[in-house]
Amino acid sequence: MTPDGPLIVGGGMAGALLALLLRHHGCPSVTLVESHPLPTEAPPETPSFDARSTALSAGSLRVLEQLGLLAPLLERAASINEVHVSRQGRLGLTRMLAGEHRLPRLGAVVENRWLGYLLVNALYRDDAIEVRAPDGVQAARRVSDGYVMTLNDGSERHTPLLIAADGANSRTRDWLGITARQQDIGHDALIANVAVAEPHQGRAFERFLDDGPMALLPLPDQRMALVWTGPRDQVDAWMALDDEQALDALHQRMGAAPPALTAIGERHRYPLVLTEACAQAVPFGAVVGNAAHTLHPVAGQGFNLSVRDLAALAEAVGAAAHPGELARLSQWQQARRADQAWVTRASRQLPEWFRVRQPLFAHSRQLGLLALDLLPGPRRDFARRAMGLQ
């Protein structure tokens, strides 16, 4: 068996992007194994490329630009020009504006299926990426210079670097001998697309409600993507409403800021189980994407954080003769630690922070929002971090 290049298990947003980034950074060949079909002629339908939309930060857009994917992405994405953050029942409102950061946009919102379509087609355009989909790994055996993977058809692949990108319940992570902490927070995320009465002008709205944060993100064609996270029994109640009742409830909760909502599409829910791998680098192995950290979707940071992890990993190992060398992988993990800690902490604490009801806390939160709006320094720092620019 001849030694192959890195082998990625999981061809979702993280795995597919990593394969392309590794090639971009000089990796001679990559194998990608995905359990669902990845067709080229139509958007894929997988657990990653589903009905959701993703808010991509300015930093993530830059990474996609390096791969030549920004222009086609923007054909079917909506730019975020402003973000409005508010708290139900309070006056405080903070706005982040693209112009303040001298950026053409703060980010862009894309439907996951369109992102999937672009990534999958880019994978197939590169002859040095072997896409095995639908396929799976039956067994993994550690050898002196990597792993030998047995695929579903019984064929074997040697890899000097096995990468787990197979989601929060990653089996590949287990093969690498890495455990994960998982916390079911008893909340679900509810998503749906809504139609708006007037153009949204690239405004995104994030509103902290008593029972959880709600976001409305701009989409092309006068539509917006709703993401609301709340206690499971309340999500049950929302799912049971008819469309008209659901729109009424939304209007009450979003306050006066966003444009009027005229229709709501199919609603989907996702249980929120926060996951954190106990390590992301071991000899001949790395863990990325949801398999490494599954975050609360409160600020739309999960994939954006992963993009920064992936770009750094591809840069660290892409052209290396021995990509699975522990020293190299540990250096990558170490370099990513501070950003991961900041984003993980912020996305855990933000919903709690805004939930506190005691008058004193509520007042200081309100001041916090107002201060963020009035003081350019802290707001700029916060926004730049959230956009993945520092």
Ligand X SMILES: Cc1cc2nc3c(=O)[nH]c(=O)nc-3n(C[C@H](O)[C@H](O)[C@H](O)COP(=O)(O)OP(=O)(O)OC[C@H]3O[C@@H](n4cnc5c(N)ncnc54)[C@H](O)[C@@H]3O)c2cc1C
Provide the minimum distance between the beta carbon of 377 and ligand X in the complex, in angstroms, as a whole number. 25
Q: How far is the CB of 390 from ligand X (least distance, A)?
A: 17
The one-letter amino acid code at 312 reads A
Q: Interacting stretch for ligand X, rule CB under 6 A, among 19-27, 159-167, 194-202, 313-321?
A: 159-167
Residues 327-386 interacting with ligand X (rule: CB under 6 A): none
Is the CB of 190 or the CB of 254 nearer to ligand X?
A: 190
Closest to ligand X by CB, 179 vs 364, is 179
From 117, 228, 284, 303, residue interacting with ligand X (rule: CB under 6 A): 303
Tokens, residue 300: 């739309």
The residues in 122-151 that bind ligand X, with binding defined as CB under 6 A, are: 136
Residues 68-127 within binding reach of ligand X (CB under 6 A): none
Cβ closer to ligand X: 300 or 324?
Answer: 300
Taking CB under 6 A as the rule, does residue 297 contact ligand X?
Answer: yes
- List of E strands, 232-352: 261-264, 268-277, 281-282, 285-287, 293-294
Decide if 324 contacts 35 (C-beta within 8 A).
no
- Reading the block at residue 165, the tokens are 């990108």
Contact between 218 and ligand X by CB under 6 A: the answer reads no
Among 10, 202, 212, 218, binds ligand X (CB under 6 A): 10
Residue showing tokens 């950074």: 25
Chain centroid offset of residue 163 CA: 18
Residue closer to ligand X, measured from CB, 86 or 170: 170
Q: 297, 225 in Cβ contact below 8 A?
A: no
Distance between CA atoms of 296 and 286, rounded to whole angstroms?
Answer: 22
Structure tokens at 32: 């990608």
Integer Cα distance of 193 and 362 in angstroms: 31
Q: Are residues 312 and 302 in contact, defined by beta-carbon separation less than 8 angstroms?
A: no
**In contact, 26 and 319? CB cutoff 8 Å:** yes
- For ligand X, which residue of 5, 6, 7, 9 counts as binding (CB under 6 A)? 9
Site string for ligand X, 17-36 (x = CB under 6 A): ----------------xxxx
Residue with the two structure tokens 């009465």 = 197
Query: Does residue 280 interact with ligand X by CB under 6 A?
Result: no
Whether the ω angle into residue 378 lies within 30 degrees of 0, i.e. cis, is: no
Between 167 and 258, CB nearer to ligand X: 167
Q: Are 192 and 265 contacting, i.e. CB atoms less than 8 angstroms apart?
A: yes
**160-199 binders of ligand X (CB under 6 A):** 165-167, 171, 189, 191
Does 301 participate in binding ligand X (rule CB under 6 A)? yes
Question: In the complex, which residues of this chain contact ligand X (CB under 6 A)?
Answer: 9-15, 33-36, 46-48, 52, 54-55, 136, 165-167, 171, 189, 191, 227, 270, 289-290, 297, 300-304, 306
